[in-house]
Amino acid sequence: MTSVAIRKMLKNKQAMLGVAIILFLVLVALFAQVIAPYDPYKTDYSAYKEPPSAQHLLGTDELGRDVLSRLIYGTRISLTIGVAVAVIAMGIGVPLGAIAGYYGGTVDLIIMRIVDILMAFPFIVLAIAMVAIAGPSLGNMMLVLGGVSWIWYTRLVRGMVLAQREEDYVLAARALGASSLTIIFRHLLPNVLAVVIVQASFSVAEAILAAASLSYLGLGAQPPTAEWGAMLSNAKEYMRILPVLSIAPGVAIMITVLAINFIGDALRDALDPTLRQ
């Protein structure tokens, strides 16, 4: 990021709030074992379905497990899912988009037709179908979400490369004998990196939401994993008698996604030269 973009980010109050929240959540995830008051997987049938109290600040679930401890450990899992999915999607989509945009012709046609086919299906429906085929698990869910999210990176990078490939610096590199791969990875991709960073920030938020949805349906994290979507799924039968079991993970998901979106919006404004004054 340039100094102008950094200054613009620092002046954005929403962005700074989002950064503060994410830094707090990262610290919670890193030090979950220290912060959590109880073992999130330890059952206590003598204290099951207790309301919030001084001993259990958010109460206990149907197995007597401390809800606050499970929420804290769920931070680690949800953030890991978001980052892992974004990395997988970028690793697939960015090179494919660059190759399609630079070479054009048949290569571009094949890659973009695959993208069009995948985009014909609603994202969450496609993810549900693929996880159901691969088998419900945390690892399969991350691979599937990354495997269906790369199409957005491909479309984005392809469009940027198409606009850049006839620029003077590309023509000069080609005239000096640089190979196509060198031009793509050393000259073109660094110039589209800002847009990719913005897309990645939104991808993390989308992945956390999608993972929570799949876990709620029983296709993601499996019991007894402390994951926010799975916690929502377990709590749906107790919404009338213990609403905190649903409210706590729901609020955690909302705050996390909102904070990431604040950062993404600020990055887009700071890195877009057309929006700079």
pLDDT digits (tens, 9 = 90+) for 5-57: 677 777 888 889 999 999 999 999 999 999 999 999 988 888 888 888 888 88
**What's the pLDDT score for residue 236?**
85
**What's the pLDDT score for residue 274?**
52
pTM, whole model, 2 decimals?
A: 0.88
Domain boundary assignment for the chain: 3-35+59-275
Q: Helix 13-30 and helix 3-11: axis angle, to 10°?
A: 90
Q: How many CB atoms lie within 10 A of CB 277?
A: 4
191: CB partners within 8 A, 6+ apart = 160, 164
Q: Are 249 and 211 in contact (CB under 8 A)?
A: no
Cα radius of gyration (the chain): 22
The CATH class for the domain spanning 3-35+59-275 reads mainly alpha
pLDDT digits (tens, 9 = 90+) for 155-204: 999 998 888 888 888 888 888 888 888 888 888 888 888 888 888 988 99
In the structure encoding, which two tokens stand for residue 149, read together? 């999210």
